[in-house]
Chain A
Amino acid sequence: MSALRHLTAPLIRENPITLQILGICSALAVTTSLTTAATMCAALTVVLTLSATIISAIRRHIPSSIRLIVQITIISSLVIVIDEFLQAYAFSISQRLSIFVGLIVTNCIVLGRAEAFAVRNPPLPAAFDALGNGLGYSLILLIVGTIREFFGAGTLFGYAVVVTQADGGWFQPLGLMQLAPSAFFIIGLLIWAIRTRWTTQIEAPEHRIGRVSEERS
Chain B
Amino acid sequence: MSEPRTAWGRFLARPNDDRTKTLGIAFLTAFISALVVSTTSIALKPLQDANIAAEQAARMDAMLDALPGLRALMEETGVTALETRLVDLDAGDWSDADPTGYDFAAAFTEPEASTPLPPEADIAGLGNRPVLAPVHLLEREGELMLIVLPMAVSGYASTIRAMLALEPDLNTVAALSITEQGETPGLGARIEDPAWQAQWPGKEVTNDAGEIVFSVVRGQASGPHEVDAISGATRTSNAIHNMMRFWMGEWGYGPFLDRLEEEGL
- The residues of A with any CB-CB pair to B shorter than 8 Å are 32, 60-66, 69-70, 73-74, 76-77, 80-81, 84-85, 87-89, 91-92, 95, 98, 152, 175, 178-179
Main secondary structure on chain B at its contact with chain A? helix
Known contacts A63-B21, A175-B186; A89/B33 CB under 8 A: no
Whether the Cβ atoms of B16 and A64 lie closer than 8 Å is yes
B25 adjacent to A88 (CB under 8 Å): no
Closest 5 CB pairs of A and B: A77-B33, A91-B51, A88-B47, A178-B186, A88-B44
Complex CA–CA separation, A74 to B25 (angstroms): 12
Complex CA–CA separation, A62 to B185 (angstroms): 43
B binding-site residues for A, Cβ under 8 Å: 12, 16-18, 21-22, 25-26, 29-30, 33-34, 36-37, 40-41, 44, 47-48, 51-52, 55, 182, 184-186
CA A87 to CA B52, docked complex, whole Å: 9
Give Cα distance in the complex from A77 to B29, angstroms. 10
Residues of B close to A77: CB separation below 8 A = 33-34, 36-37
Q: What residues of chain B lie closer than 8 Å to A69, measured between beta carbons?
A: 26
Count of CB-CB pairs between chains A and B under 8 Å: 70
Is B51 in contact with A70, judged by CB distance below 8 angstroms? no
Some 29 contacts from A to B, beta carbons below 8 A apart, are A32-B185, A60-B16, A61-B12, A61-B16, A62-B16, A62-B25, A63-B16, A63-B18, A63-B26, A64-B16, A66-B25, A69-B26, A70-B25, A70-B26, A70-B29, A73-B29, A74-B33, A76-B33, A77-B33, A77-B36, A80-B40, A81-B37, A84-B44, A87-B48, A88-B44, A91-B51, A91-B55, A152-B186, A179-B186
In the complex, what residues of B have CB within 8 A of residue A175's CB?
186
> What is the bound-complex CA distance between A81 and B206, given in angstroms?
49
Given contacts A64-B16, A73-B30, A91-B51, is CB(A80)–CB(B37) below 8 Å? yes
Q: Within the complex, what minimum Cβ distance (angstroms) separates A103 from chain B?
A: 14
Within the complex, the shortest CB–CB distance from B88 to chain A, in Å, comes to 31
B25 touches A84 (CB 8 A): no
Q: State which of A73, A84, A152, A178 has its C-beta within 8 Å of the C-beta of B41.
A: A84
**In the assembled complex, which residues on chain A have CB atoms less than 8 Å from the CB atom of B186?**
152, 175, 178-179
| Given known contacts A74-B33, A81-B36, A61 and B47 CB-to-CB distance under 8 angstroms | no
Query: In the assembled complex, which residues on chain A have CB atoms less than 8 Å from the CB atom of B44?
Result: 84-85, 87-88
